[in-house]
Each structure stands twice: as structure tokens, then as C-alpha cells.
Amino acid sequence: MAELTVLEADITQLDVDAIVNAANDRLWMGGGVAGAIKRAGGQEIEDEAVRKGPVKVGDAVATGAGRLKARHVIHAVTMGQDLQTSAETIRQATRSALRRAAELGLRSIALPALGTGVGGFPLGTCAKLMVEATREVIATGSLERVVFVVRGEEARRAFAAALA
């Protein structure tokens, strides 16, 4: 069974096999986590992602990770051009990201709080949905370590409560 933890950190600095990007359906990397990933890892991440788009909301695609410590960025599509997200979208995007990790045979992955930035989804609900979806998917894959990477005490508490 994989170890699930919460960590308050910069996702772009983690030494894991893959980090997850909360993406839009066109895979453009503008602000928030996506912008941070592009700044730290390089434009080539967005260029490769855009070539794989557009992607259905709730699905995920993997790219290289440029200059990041991680080997892959998994772009979990949590919203379309309307910038709206939902509980079902967050659940499905989490599952899709973890399935891509399993397909790549990865052992470790870091996920941000999907849909809580631009999407404005409530942190506590997001944490519960992501932890539930993760527990459903990881039993069948290669993952040994799943890190929910957050910013701020409220987010840390929300994910810690969901994991408890």
C-alpha cells in the first residue's frame, strides 16, 4: 500500500517521479501551479503539453519535466475555457493523473489541491475528493508514495483531516 502524506512545499522543488499540474483543457500554462511549473521547468513543458491538447476535462496527459527534479509532469485537466470545475471533475482528474503514473510505472507522485486556485473549489471538499479517489486508484498501481503538496495552513489542515 502506498504511503499518503501532506506536505507544505513548492511542488516544483520535490524529488518525485512526477508532479501534477492542475491544467485547463488546452494545456496552456499561465498562472498558479501551472505557471510555477513552467517557470521552474522551462517552456518545453508547455510546448509538449499543448501538442497533446486539447484534452477532455477530467482526463490527464504526461509530458517531460524539463529542468525539474521530477521526470514527468502529469497535466490533470480540471477545467475548460469557462474556468469552472466540479466535484466530479476533480475526482476524475485525480484518478486520471494516478492512472497515467501507473501506466508509466512511477513510484512517487506529488499532487496539488486541484481546482482550488482559479477554479475556486472549496479546499476541504477538494481534499476529501482527492484522498478518496487516490485510495481507490493506488491499490492497483506501482505507486509507493503519494504526496499532497499544499500552500498554507488551511490547506495543510484540510488534507491532514482527509487523510486521518
pLDDT digits 0-9 by tens, 100-134: 999 999 999 999 999 998 888 999 999 999 999 99
Q: How far is CA 2 from CA 105, 109, 137, 156, in A?
A: 14, 11, 11, 19
| Sign of the alpha-carbon torsion through 65, 31, 110, 56 | negative
Overall average pLDDT of the 60-68 stretch: 98
- The pLDDT value recorded for residue 8 is 96
The domain 3-163: what is its CATH number?
A: 3.40.220.10
Overall average pLDDT of the 60-65 stretch: 98
Per DSSP, the three-state class of 67 is coil
3-state helix, strand, coil in the chain (%, to 5): 40, 20, 40
Q: pTM of this prediction?
A: 0.96
Rounded CA separation 53/61 (Å): 9
What percentage of the chain has pLDDT greater than the value 70? 100
Sketch the domain layout of the chain as residue ranges. Answer: 3-163
What confidence tier does 141 reach under pLDDT thresholds 50, 70, 90? confident
Rounded CA separation 48/43 (Å): 9
